[in-house]
Amino acid sequence: MHDGPVTQILSAIDRGDAGAAERLLPVVYEELRSLAEQRMAQERVGQTIQATALVHEAYLRLLGPNGTTTNWDGKGHFFAAAAEAMRRILVERARAKDAVKRGGSWRRLDLDLANLSLEDVPAELVELDRALTAFREEEPEKAQLVELRFFGGLTMEQAASVLGISIATAGRHWAYARAWLFDEMRGEV
């Protein structure tokens, strides 16, 4: 993940350069699209949002209505925020589908946390989001690792780089996070 152009454009956005937001999307689009495609490949068949739409909606949320952003601390911060935006979009869609399909009632479903992939119904995503929100209160960096890997589609190496930690530390954080989330979703934390 080469930081140069992205970091420069993000800095220009932070300085108020009106045209910088327009220059950012072409530079990050392919990486965002790749992350979205990886994420969407894990969704069940029949998902109504496409990777392109997910990228565009996440991008719009990141820049806001006027192309204004938070101060980005480089490319890693931007992609972490993009992963969070994609997560929120998918969770919102899952909640909306659950409300419509099930009359607003919640039901608990098992999630295969060994691979952290969605293969069944979107209600699992809602349950994971609830558990991940609780986990973030206790372990924010480990929760961000889960978001980057699960919602952002990053490899362990990419996520470690974004977080500025070693791959070994990321591996330990990943193992801890999976166990904690598994216990939380089973109601044992």
Nearest partner of 5 among 27, 30, 32, judged by Cα = 27
pLDDT digits (tens, 9 = 90+) for 38-95: 767 666 555 567 778 888 888 888 876 555 556 667 777 788 888 888 888 888 877 7
What length does the chain have? 189
Query: What is the model's pLDDT at position 47?
Result: 58
Residue 127's pLDDT band (cuts 50, 70, 90): confident
Query: What is the model's pLDDT at position 138?
Result: 93
Average of pLDDT values for 20-38?
A: 79
Q: Could you give the 3-state DSSP secondary structure of residue 68?
A: coil
Residue 34 structural domain: 4-186
Secondary structure letter of residue 149 according to DSSP: I
Contact 84, 151 (CB under 8 A): yes
**Other CB atoms within 10 Å distance of the CB of residue 181:** 24
Choose the most confident range, by mean pLDDT, from 46-60, 68-82, 131-145, 148-162.
131-145
* Number of folded domains that form the chain: 1
